[in-house]
Amino acid sequence: RKITFEKQWFYLDNAIGHVYGTTFEVTSGGNLQPKQEVEETTTETKEAGTDNRNIVDDGKSQKLTHDDIKALKDKGIKGQEIVQQLIENSTTFRDKTEFAQDKYIKKKKKKYEAVITIVKPSTRILSTMYYAREPGKINHLRYDTLAQMLTLGNVHAGSKMIVMETCAGLVLGAVMERMGGYGSIIQMYPGGGPVRAATSCFGFPKPFFDNLHEFPLSKVQSLLSGTFTTETLPEENAVVEEESNGLSEEKQSSLQEAEEEPATETPMEINPTEEQDTMDMNAEDVEFKENKEKENKENVREKQIKQWERRKKLKEAAALLREKNADGLIVASKFHPTPLLLSLLEFVAPSRPFVVYCQYKEPLLECYTKLRERGGVINLKLSETWLRNYQVLPDRSHPKLTMSGGGGYLLSGITVVLEKGKPDCSNSEALKMEEPSSKRCKLQDLPC
């Protein structure tokens, strides 16, 4: 299979069998495996200037023309040699300081010596990658912010977590990695199905998906009010009636098969509308097709089994939620966090942490206020992290770039037993308790 990466294309076949972390050089079409450590290009930097007082930018310091360089490239000459040529044909190179020479070489190397390192997927790699490449898909959730969420949420093996995310499944994957297949996760999803494009990049083993459940967000209200039944899902009603005769035995056996391999289905990104459409079509055409072809009949039955399977999983998820004893709640979505939190916190046990991510601070301010009004939470904290990368080289250490603002904000806290009946009392007391300065109390008492 042909893969494109950074204006290069290659086949992955040659990479199989090597350990993770191996570096490859791209040749015309395939992969070549060079040595782990490319020997330092021994450009003798003996001759070097001390400052740039005599270096004039006349645009003529490089004696090779564009065409010359292109010719070198077309000849398939090694990148290393092209860099060497460029250095030799630079009139100012010798006058540059040692540090500037170093920088020049590095820049050219980057351009002409294309090397690719293949690494194992992890939250570290994937979250860094998503933030750099497709920040829009993960609501600009920076990787250090994701790290905070996992820690603040006390995500660990054996927990029962509720995750509501619209980050392409990246947050879900991060939680799954930290739980290592122990415990259970209920993913709340908007629309027709959960998005798990990033989750599948982790390459989790199948058993990790055994205790991964999903539940539609649109059914949360009915579940909370106790009117939830799986019968309310229209497409599935039809299926149940149809499969009632004769098929049940066969269905059982193939059901077991399906149970053994749930992972093959779950990590795929399900396109909600499409699936819905095909289902409706099938329901309508069932009679027509049944008469016509046996093959089609089996297709339909497979669909029915799949639906039955989904319904069963949905029931399981509903049952898990109904226990209202989840060990934590993680929210990172494009939706307004307040209604999500006010509803989903109902499913969380007391003395458990929760974390909400939002790209913007203002919705979290409102969420903070509403949670205070509701009660049942303590230690509310609104925070943000700043991340600074450093260049560390002898005599040239300094910060690289500041990343602030763009990483999003977190609201975290701990649930406690919610006392019903006298919310006013506990509320005012809680306020007093958490406001140390009398001045702040005064401000909040003001009518707004």
Partner 1 sequence: MSFVEYGDTIKDGDTAIVFLGHESMFPVKVQHGTVTQTKYGVIRHSTDLIGKKYGSKVTCSKGGWVFILHPTPELWTLNLPHRTQILYSTDISIITMMLELKPGSIVCESGTGSGSLSHALIRTVAPTGHLYTVEFHQQRAEKAREEFREHGVEHLVTVTNQDVCKNGFGVSNIADAVFLDIPSPWEAIGHAKSALKAEGGRICSFSPCIEQVQRTCLVMEEYGFTEINTLEILLRVYNVRTISLQIPDLGKAAEDNSSTGFDSCSPSHQGSPCANLQQGTVQFKSGVPLREVVGHTGYLTFATKS
Residues 149-188 that bind partner 1 (CB under 8 A): 150-152, 154, 156-159, 177-182
Q: Which of residues 216-275 bind partner 1 (CB under 8 A)?
A: none
What string of H, E and C letters represents the secondary structure of 154-205?
Answer: CCCCCCEEEEEECCCCHHHHHHHHHHCCCCEEEEEECCCCCCCHHHHHCCCC
Task: Work out which of 39, 74, 392, 421 binds partner 1, going by CB under 8 A.
Answer: 392
Q: Is 427 in the site for partner 1 (CB under 8 A)?
A: no
Q: Does 210 bind partner 1 (CB under 8 A)?
A: no
Select from 140-148, 251-259, 273-281, 284-292 the region that touches partner 1 (CB under 8 A). Answer: 140-148
Contacts (CB under 8 A) with partner 1, residues 336-365: 349-353, 361-362, 364-365
369 binds partner 1 (CB under 8 A): yes
Is the Cβ of residue 62 or residue 369 nearer to partner 1 in the bound state?
A: 369
Residue 9 touches partner 1, criterion: CB under 8 A:
no
CB of 168 to partner 1, least distance (A): 18
Q: Say how many residues touch partner 1, by CB under 8 A.
A: 79
Residue 273 token pair: 């509308």
Q: Which residues in 55-114 contact partner 1 (CB under 8 A)?
A: none
Contact between 294 and 302 under an 8 Å Cβ cutoff? The reply is no
Which 301-330 residues touch partner 1, going by CB under 8 A?
Answer: 325, 327
Both tokens of residue 216? 């539609």
Q: Kindly tell me which residue out of 379, 406, 422, 425 binds partner 1, with binding defined by CB under 8 A.
A: 379
User: What is the phi/psi pair of residue 304, to 5°?
Assistant: -60, -45
The rounded distance, in Å, linking the Cα atoms of 78 and 86 is 13
Cα separation of the two ends of the chain = 62
Using CB under 8 A, pick the residue from 81, 235, 346, 435 that binds partner 1. Answer: 435
Residues 6+ apart with CB under 8 A from 69: 82, 86
Determine the Cα–Cα distance for residues 255 and 208; give it in Å rounded to an integer: 19
Name which of 341 and 414 has its Cβ closer to partner 1. 414
Contact with partner 1 (CB under 8 A) among 48, 382, 423, 427: 382
Largest CA distance in the chain: 93
In one-letter notation, the amino acid at residue 52 is N
